[in-house]
C-alpha cells in the first residue's frame, strides 16, 4: 500500500473516532436536536399551507403556525395535566393493593407473597420514598429540583430550536446548494424534496396515529370504568410512537391493569386492543410506511433494532425516517451512476474506431 493510502485510512479512522466521541459527549444535545427536527418537520406542512393561502412571507407564516401549535399544546396541557397528576398520585397509592390482588389467593402467584413478601416490600418502599427515609429528604429534594430544572431547560431549548429550524431551514438549504453547480444543485434539491416528503410525512402520520391510539384507549377505559384512564391513555399514545413493539407493550400493560377492575373488563380491553392493533397495522401503518417511507417490513425491523441499540427510544423513533432518507439518497446515487455509465457507453459506441493504416 502506498503511504498516501495508509494516511487516508488512518485519517478516516481518526475522524470516525472523533465523531463517535462527540456523539457520546453531546448525546443529550443530539437528542434535543432530533426532537426539534422532528417537530419542525411536523409543523412545516402547516407553514407551507399558510404560504399557499396568502401568507406569502415565511416569517409571519412560521409565527402563525408555531403560535397555533403552542397554544393548542398549552390548552391540552391545562386541561389534562391536573387530571393526569391527580390520577398518577392515586395510582401510586393504589399500587400495594394491586400487588396484593395479584399475589394473594391466586394459586401460582401466591409464592411471591409467602416466600418473598412482595407486598410488604412494595409498601415499605413507597412509604420510605414518600417520607424521604431511603436516601434522605435533602437528596430527594435536590434530585427533584435538578430534574425539574433539566426538564424546563430541555423544553425551552427544544421550543426555540424548533422555531429557528422553521425560520432558517430553507435558507440553510439554499446556502448548501449554492456552492454546487446548477445541475448538481437541481439534482440534490430534488433528493432533498423527496427526503423531506418522506421524513415529514412519517413524523406527522406517526404523531397522528399515536394521538388516535391514545384518545380511543382513554375513551374505552373511561367507559368501562377502568381506573386512571387519562394516564393510561397517555401511556398508550407515547408507547405507540415506538415502531413495531410499542403498541404491543402498551396493550399488555393496560390490559393487565384493566383486569383489576374485573375479569370481563380485562377481557373486553384485551379484545379492543387486538382489534385496534389489527386496524392500525393493516389500515393506518401501511398508509404511512407504504406511501412515505416505502420500506419493507424486514428493513423496518432492522432499522428499529439498530436505532434502539444506538439511541434507545429516541433511536427507535428516528430509525424509520432515517432509513427512508438513506434509501432515497442511495437510490439517487445508484440511478445517477447507472445513467452516467449508460451515457459513457453510448458515447463510446458512437465514436468511430481509428482507421488502420496499411503497411
Looking at residue 140, its pLDDT comes to: 54
3-state secondary structure of 289: helix
Give the pLDDT confidence of 322-343 residue by residue, as tens digits: 777 787 888 888 887 777 666 6
Please give the residue that has the higher pLDDT: either 2 or 351. Answer: 2
pTM (predicted TM-score): 0.61
Name the band, by pLDDT with cuts 50, 70 and 90, for residue 272: very high
Q: Are 315 and 309 in contact (CB under 8 A)?
A: yes
C-alpha cell at 192: 432533498
User: How large is the greatest C-alpha to C-alpha distance in the chain, in angstroms?
Assistant: 109
What are the residue boundaries of the structural domains of the chain, listed by start? 29-179, 188-336
Q: Is 242 left (phi over 0), alpha (psi -120 to 50) or beta?
A: beta
Q: What is the mean pLDDT of residues 19-23?
A: 68
Q: Are 255 and 271 in contact (CB under 8 A)?
A: no
Looking at residue 109, its pLDDT comes to: 47
Looking at residue 115, its pLDDT comes to: 62
Mean pLDDT, the chain, integer: 75
Give the pLDDT confidence of 28-68 residue by residue, as tens digits: 777 788 778 878 877 888 888 888 888 888 888 889 988 88
CA angle, residues 314, 249, 41, in degrees to nearest 5: 30
**Most confident stretch, 105-119, 132-146, 269-283:** 269-283
Give the pLDDT confidence of 161-215 residue by residue, as tens digits: 888 888 888 888 788 777 778 888 888 888 878 777 777 777 777 888 888 898 9
Looking at residue 289, its pLDDT comes to: 60
Give the pLDDT confidence of 220-268 residue by residue, as tens digits: 999 988 887 888 888 888 888 877 678 888 888 888 888 877 888 888 9
Q: Which range (24-33, 119-128, 310-319, 327-336) has the least confidence?
A: 119-128
Q: How many CB atoms lie within 10 A of CB 309?
A: 11
Backbone angles phi, psi at 311, to 5 degrees: -130, 15
First to last CA, the chain: 44
Q: Are 132 and 140 in contact (CB under 8 A)?
A: yes
Looking at residue 201, its pLDDT comes to: 75
Amino acid at each position: 500500500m502506498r503511504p498516501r493510502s495508509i494516511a487516508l485510512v488512518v485519517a478516516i479512522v481518526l475522524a470516525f473516532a472523533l465523531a463517535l466521541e462527540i456523539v457520546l459527549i453531546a448525546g443529550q444535545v443530539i437528542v434535543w436536536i432530533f426532537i426539534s427536527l422532528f417537530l419542525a418537520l411536523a409543523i412545516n406542512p402547516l407553514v407551507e399551507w399558510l404560504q399557499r393561502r396568502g401568507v406569502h412571507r415565511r416569517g409571519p407564516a412560521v409565527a402563525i403556525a408555531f403560535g397555533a401549535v403552542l397554544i393548542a399544546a398549552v390548552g391540552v396541557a391545562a386541561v389534562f395535566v391536573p387530571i393526569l397528576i391527580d390520577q398518577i398520585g392515586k395510582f401510586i397509592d393504589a399500587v400495594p393493593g394491586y400487588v396484593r390482588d395479584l399475589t394473594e389467593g391466586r394459586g401460582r402467584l401466591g409464592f411471591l407473597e409467602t416466600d418473598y413478601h412482595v407486598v410488604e416490600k412494595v409498601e415499605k418502599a413507597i412509604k420510605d420514598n414518600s417520607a424521604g427515609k431511603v436516601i434522605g429528604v435533602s437528596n430527594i429534594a435536590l434530585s427533584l429540583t435538578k430534574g425539574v430544572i433539566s426538564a424546563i431547560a430541555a423544553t425551552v431549548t427544544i421550543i426555540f430550536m424548533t422555531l429557528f429550524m422553521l425560520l432558517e431551514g430553507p435558507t440553510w438549504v439554499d446556502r448548501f446548494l449554492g456552492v454546487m453547480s446548477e445541475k448538481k444543485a437541481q439534482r440534490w434539491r430534488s433528493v432533498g424534496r423527496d427526503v423531506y416528503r418522506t421524513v415529514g410525512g412519517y413524523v406527522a402520520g406517526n404523531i397522528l396515529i399515536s394521538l388516535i391510539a391514545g384518545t380511543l384507549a382513554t375513551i374505552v377505559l373511561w367507559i368501562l370504568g377502568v381506573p386512571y384512564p387519562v394516564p393510561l391513555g397517555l401511556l398508550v399514545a407515547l408507547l405507540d410512537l415506538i415502531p413495531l413493539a410499542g403498541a404491543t407493550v402498551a396493550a399488555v400493560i393496560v390490559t393487565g391493569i384493566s383486569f383489576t377492575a374485573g375479569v370481563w373488563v380485562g377481557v373486553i380491553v384485551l379484545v379492543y386492543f387486538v382489534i385496534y392493533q389489527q386496524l392500525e397495522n393493516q389500515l393506518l401503518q401501511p398508509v404511512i410506511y407504504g406511501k412515505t417511507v416505502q420500506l419493507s417490513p424486514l428493513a423496518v425491523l432492522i432499522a428499529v433494532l439498530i436505532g434502539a441499540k444506538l439511541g434507545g427510544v429516541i433511536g427507535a423513533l428516528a430509525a424509520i425516517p432515517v432509513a427512508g432518507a438513506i434509501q432515497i439518497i442511495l437510490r439517487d446515487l445508484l440511478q445517477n451512476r447507472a445513467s452516467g455509465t449508460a451515457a459513457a457507453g453510448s458515447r463510446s459506441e458512437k465514436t468511430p474506431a481509428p482507421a488502420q493504416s496499411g503497411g
